A = this chain, B = another copy of it.
Amino acid sequence: MNRHDLALIGFGGVNRALAELIRDRGDELATELGFALRVVAITDLRLGSLMQEDGIDLDAVFALAPGATFAGWPGGDAEPRNVEVIRNTTADIVVEATFTNPIDGEPGVSHVRLALEAGKSVTTTNKGPVALAGPQLNAIAAANGVHFAYEGSVVSGTPVLRFAASTLQGLRVDAVRGILNGTSNYVLGQMEAGMDLAAAVAEAQTLGYAEADPTADIEGSDVRLKVVILANEVLGADITPADVTCTGITGITPADIVDAAARGLRYKLIGAAERLADGSVRASVEPVALPLTHPLAGISGPTNAVSFETDLLGTVTVSGPGAGRVETAYALLSDIIEIDARVAQTAAARR
């Protein structure tokens, strides 16, 4: 049976969930998908690095005592030697799941570039490299005959990028609009129910939706990166975060929300990109008071959604979870399935 060997760069919640999935359901998935998955390298800020080309015993990794590292393991090291592992691993797919750096995308951009240049395909859930260097990294992938996939960089495992690529063929997509941040959507919903902004944010933190520092969620900068990715991927634009006007929800008061409701409207933080008559793409993040009949008006709580406005079909919308470690790990799995299919297509075309 065909097999893919994985290098997991970053071993936080998401890559850990992927490893658990491979351990617990690997055989079942192999039967269903036609290929096996094996982890041959792991790097992590706290655990260090591990390369074992015959496959890592994942149970042993999960059994590591708190504070322990890979030092002393065969192929192990206490240091997270990301660059060395990416260059030297025998993996054919590198799974990049380090933190999102919204300024320059590093070290994610370098991780992805090095892997692609070394002839390895890459899947990532990291918005940084995709939003800040997506077109360049795609060009490097093409030049090296490998693949770069990043479904989880927008709306976690909910397949919005793949939906656009694989089920909307033959349509012209004129605009894409989404609820792309669950925290701000939850907060707006609680404000509609009578809470003030600060209390709603505190509640979202308690529930685990919001980070300790909720600025990126509330001020719109998280959505801004996702709008760049959607604009470039779905509308074929080539924009950067600086091209996206950005207004968060901190200017929305409970009075605004009550007033909107009286007019049959509901505030949502909308990330949007639309193609203008001159062919250029305008992109924005801003609170919009939507009519209740709008497909995004009914998206509640931490759910995310993306609407695609098309010529022949009108508006079609995909909604689902926008976060969660297992949900985001599924994005990685779905990218691996896609990479496997593309590799098989290339092989068939060469025969």
Docked CA distance A349–B310 (Å):
34
Contact of A169 among B167, B303, B334 (CB under 8 A): B334
Determine if A327 and B300 form an interchain contact, defined as CB atoms under 8 angstroms apart.
no
Contact of A327 among B301, B312, B317 (CB under 8 A): B312
Determine if B314 and A320 form an interchain contact, defined as CB atoms under 8 angstroms apart.
yes
Contact of A319 among B158, B169, B317, B321 (CB under 8 A): B317
Determine if B313 and A327 form an interchain contact, defined as CB atoms under 8 angstroms apart.
yes
B residues near A321, Cβ cutoff 8 Å:
313-314, 316
Contact of A320 among B33, B315, B327 (CB under 8 A): B315
B-facing residues in A188-245 (Cβ within 8 Å):
none
B-facing residues in A98-126 (Cβ within 8 Å):
none
B residues near A166, Cβ cutoff 8 Å:
162, 166-167
Quick check: is A135 within 8 A (CB to CB) of the other chain?
A: no
Determine if A334 and B300 form an interchain contact, defined as CB atoms under 8 angstroms apart.
no
Quick check: is A2 within 8 A (CB to CB) of the other chain?
A: no
| Closest beta carbon of chain B to A162's beta carbon, Å | 5
How many copies of this chain? 2
B-facing residues in A311-351 (Cβ within 8 Å):
312-321, 324, 326-327, 329-330, 333-334, 337, 345, 348-349, 351
Question: Could you give, for residues 154-184 of chain A, a 1 whenever the CB lies within 8 Å of some chain B CB and a 0 otherwise?
Answer: 0001110011001111110000000000000
Quick check: is A246 within 8 A (CB to CB) of the other chain?
A: no
B residues near A326, Cβ cutoff 8 Å:
312
Docked CA distance A320–B308 (Å):
10
Q: Across chains A and B, which 8 residue pairs bring their CB atoms closest together, nearest first?
A: A298-B298, A316-B320, A348-B348, A159-B167, A312-B330, A293-B300, A162-B167, A317-B319
Residues on A lying within 8 angstroms of B by beta carbon are 21, 29, 32-33, 157-159, 162-163, 166-171, 292-293, 295, 297-301, 303, 312-321, 324, 326-327, 329-330, 333-334, 337, 345, 348-349, 351
Q: List 30 A-B contacts (CB under 8 A).
A: A21-B312, A29-B170, A33-B169, A33-B170, A157-B313, A159-B167, A163-B167, A166-B166, A166-B167, A169-B334, A169-B337, A170-B333, A170-B334, A170-B337, A171-B330, A292-B300, A295-B303, A312-B333, A313-B321, A313-B327, A313-B330, A314-B324, A314-B327, A316-B318, A316-B319, A317-B317, A317-B319, A317-B320, A348-B348, A351-B351
Contacts A295-B298, A319-B319 aside, 8 further interface pairs with beta carbons under 8 A come to: A159-B168, A162-B167, A163-B167, A170-B333, A292-B300, A316-B321, A317-B318, A348-B351
